[in-house]
Structure formats: structure tokens, C-alpha cells
Amino acid sequence: MYNIDEIYKMLHWHNESEVQLQGMELARKLEDISLLIQPAAHGSVWDGCARILYEKSDDILEPHLTQLLGWLEDLNWNGALLILERLKKFSDVKALSYHVDQYVKKLSERGTWEELSSLDHLCHIIENRELEVFLPKETRKILQKHYQNPGWWDEE
């Protein structure tokens, strides 16, 4: 049996593809998928973790939606774009909309440069048009503003 640190080492992008694939197979068997969400490991393993999370069903991902949204705070982070694509396909848009709304409120209330920058990245979740329908008007408005004009807040 492998421990999580050994799996992370296998997922490192500098490894041979066979080693990475073996690490992915082991990671797929993990019962606690939170270990794959922006793990406390070198960023080079995040792409592999994101690929595994992408494969997971909505039921398995749902308890971790808030953590997954946190990955979208910077789309330059390894695996972030893949997580974004997966969340855009999330079928329970009511559940997702609740988490998005709560997350946007948290970021908006603080209003610091970091949070506003994070909203510039997170706003891409509204490319899921079904989700947009379920979001409260104020949240939708905030995300649309960031989507249509990222960085507007830095110019004011």
C-alpha cells in the first residue's frame, strides 16, 4: 500500500509517463478526494490531481465544491483550467449555484486586491449558462462585471 506522499511523488510531471500513470491509478482509488484538491504538495502534481478529479461523478464532487471553487481563484495554477471545465459541466446547477454564491459573497465582502483578482478568474464559471440562471441577481451581476471587464477594479 502506498501513502499519499508516495502517490504525489509519482504524479510529479517530471516523471516518466508510466510512473505518472501508476500514480494516477493509485490516486483514483483514494477514498478521500480532498487529498487531491490543491494538495499540500509541489504544484507539479496538481495537473494529475485535476485530471483525476475531472473523472469523478458529481455526487462525489459535490461535498467538495467550495474547495474546488478555491482552485479557480487563479487560473494560472496548475490544473485550474481543467477544474473550471469540470465545474462548467456539473449537472446539479442548483447545488453549484449555492456554493458559487457563497464563495462570491465571501470574496466580495473582503474587497482586497487578492479577492477582486480571484473574482476575475472565478467569473469564468458563468460560462455554464444553466448555472447563471440559478445564481442570485447580485452574484450574477458581480460575476458578469468581472467577466466582461477583468481588472476594472484596479483602474478605479
Q: Where are the alpha helices (DSSP H) in the chain?
A: 4-11, 17-28, 46-55, 58-61, 65-71, 80-88, 93-110, 113-122, 129-134, 137-148, 152-155
Distance between CA atoms of residues 66 and 72, nearest Å:
10
pLDDT band (50, 70, 90) for residue 155:
low
Q: What are 23-69's pLDDT values in tens digits?
A: 999 999 999 999 999 999 988 999 999 999 999 999 999 999 999 99
Instruction: Enter the pTM of the model.
Output: 0.91
Distance between CA atoms of residues 46 and 136, nearest Å:
32
Q: What are 61-104's pLDDT values in tens digits?
A: 999 999 999 999 999 999 999 999 999 999 999 999 999 999 99
- CA separation, residue 76 to residues 2, 28, 29, 83, 151 (Å): 30, 24, 28, 12, 16
